[in-house]
Structure 1
Amino acid sequence: MPVGIGAATQPAVAMETLGAGKYVQFHNDAGVFSVRLADNSNNRPADGFVLAEFAASSTATVYPLDSTNTALSGLTIGSRYWLGTAGGVIAVPLEEADAGNSGKVSQYLGKAKSATELITTDSDPVVL
């Protein structure tokens, strides 16, 4: 489909198993456009998310930030969420003054529309 028609997804080879709703990072694996779990603890900011589970080595369909992740659970309507570990989200941002957070990624992801939907935004990550 032409740009602007339908979901603006990107196919990428999954470097590991990706669970539904997980936030992911695009990655160059020996010249192969791939995707792995985003993680605030190891400098892997989120580039998008997946709505279905994908096995390692399969081609994942990645949805861009600035769209709605409808495959989550346990969110609080109206609450803000940030990137957590292993592709997850957290409700409290990392504390910049905490020396234990040095080198970690703080990335605002968006606001909950429902218990299962997060309206994401494409905000720049900050390395603490």
Structure 2
Amino acid sequence: MSTNKPVTIPREVADAIEYLRTDEGDGVTYSNERIALIYADTTYSGGTTTILRKIPFDTLMRALLDGYERELTEEEKREQAYASILASYVHHEDEAHEDYSCGYCDGVEETLEALGVKVPGVNAPEGGAA
């Protein structure tokens, strides 16, 4: 494993790599070299090869050598955004500079309302559905 940062790849490509690295399929585990050969095999264009080719070859090599992270689903992205908004809101709500903090929090609330977005703990009840 190199010291480079892991690359982010689509979930289905990550699943294909993991499938090839385990013996779940045909009882064979594939090395990085074999996975690269499967990607490069122009005589075959189905199944795993098609899935692997959804990313550029250079990205596949980085994923195999440096590691990878799965792309977040839309729901995971939304949850991260809500958590970030809530953390910022709570931080400013607890700030000592009351005028600025109140204005900041009001701005966050008004923006979310204008966008029709409900964030638990900010402009929706905590624990409630967002």
Larger radius of gyration: 2
Higher helix share: 2
Shared fold per TM-score greater than 0.5: no
Shorter-chain TM band: under 0.3
Higher strand share: 1
Q: TM-score, normalised by structure 2?
A: 0.23
Q: TM-score, normalised by structure 1?
A: 0.24
